[in-house]
């Protein structure tokens, strides 16, 4: 069980900073828009799996080297497991679920082929802005519906609401990811920063983004789930493996 008291304190500080700057706390800049192009990546070879990492700055690699981002580290972790895969980094700093929903088709159409898996990590900016959880749910549902329409399996990496936002808000927000995963038969990793945000040595000095060691810790947990989905496509429905 994570230390929610520290989590709440960290998010309160970030919310204050966001209010002063007018920028999203989990984003690098408010200038990122729905028309932002997906990251330029080498085209995958036919024998390699293709994974789309679709998220915000937690995926994009905020203040990290290109080879230290979540997609880059995940790609190496899969290779260490004997899985040849390209993990395309479609993380955009500052993205809310709304902007993610608007750019999804553009990101998918920019790939050389249909991905074997989409990993979706959005929602952090929504909760830090105090957006209505119903809006977050609708946007994520639109993303999952589009991926299902294109027959792309999904792994959701979730977010949790800070406890100072009240029991009702917390209950509504925290339920979004597991409920949508069940509805769309997707896998879900409940909290992207689980056991990382509470350990200062794994976080940047902003207290909200993981450092390179933090990304490694996250990938250590997420990689087995990704590997299972890539290795067992016959066991997946078009929208992923249910939980």
Residue 99 a catalytic site member: no
Number of Cα atoms under 13 Å in the Cβ half of residue 59? 32
Give the whole-angstrom CA distance, residue 200 versus residue 210.
9
From the candidates 24, 57, 93, 99, give the one annotated as an active-site residue.
57
Give the whole-angstrom CA distance, residue 107 versus residue 88.
10
User: Residues 35, 103: contact at Cβ < 8 Å?
Assistant: yes
From the candidates 69, 99, 185, 209, give the one annotated as an active-site residue.
209
Residue 206 a catalytic site member: yes
Residue 209 a catalytic site member: yes
Question: Which residues are designated catalytic?
Answer: 57, 206, 209
């Amino acid at each position: 069980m994570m230390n929610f008291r520290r989590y709440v304190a960290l998010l309160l500080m970030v919310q204050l900073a966001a209010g002063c700057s007018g920028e999203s706390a989990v984003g690098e800049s408010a200038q990122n828009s729905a028309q932002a192009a997906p990251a330029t990546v080498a085209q995958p070879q036919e024998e390699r799996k293709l994974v789309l990492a679709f998220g915000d700055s937690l995926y994009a690699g905020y203040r990290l080297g290109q080879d230290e981002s979540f997609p880059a580290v995940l790609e190496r972790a899969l290779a260490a497991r004997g899985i040849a895969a390209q993990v395309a980094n479609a993380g955009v700093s500052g993205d809310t679920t709304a902007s993610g929903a608007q750019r999804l088709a553009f990101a998918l159409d920019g790939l050389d082929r249909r991905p074997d898996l989409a990993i979706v990590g959005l929602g952090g900016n929504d909760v830090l802005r105090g957006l209505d959880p119903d809006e977050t749910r609708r946007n994520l549902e639109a993303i999952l519906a589009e991926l299902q329409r294109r027959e792309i399996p999904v792994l959701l990496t979730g977010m949790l609401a800070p406890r100072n936002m009240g029991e009702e808000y917390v209950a509504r927000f925290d339920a979004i990811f597991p409920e949508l995963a069940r509805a769309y038969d997707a896998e879900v990793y409940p909290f992207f920063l689980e056991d990382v945000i509470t350990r200062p040595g794994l976080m940047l000095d902003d207290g909200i983004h993981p450092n390179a060691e933090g990304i490694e810790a996250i990938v250590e947990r997420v990689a087995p789930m990704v590997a299972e989905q890539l290795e067992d496509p016959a066991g997946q429905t078009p929208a992923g493996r249910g939980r």
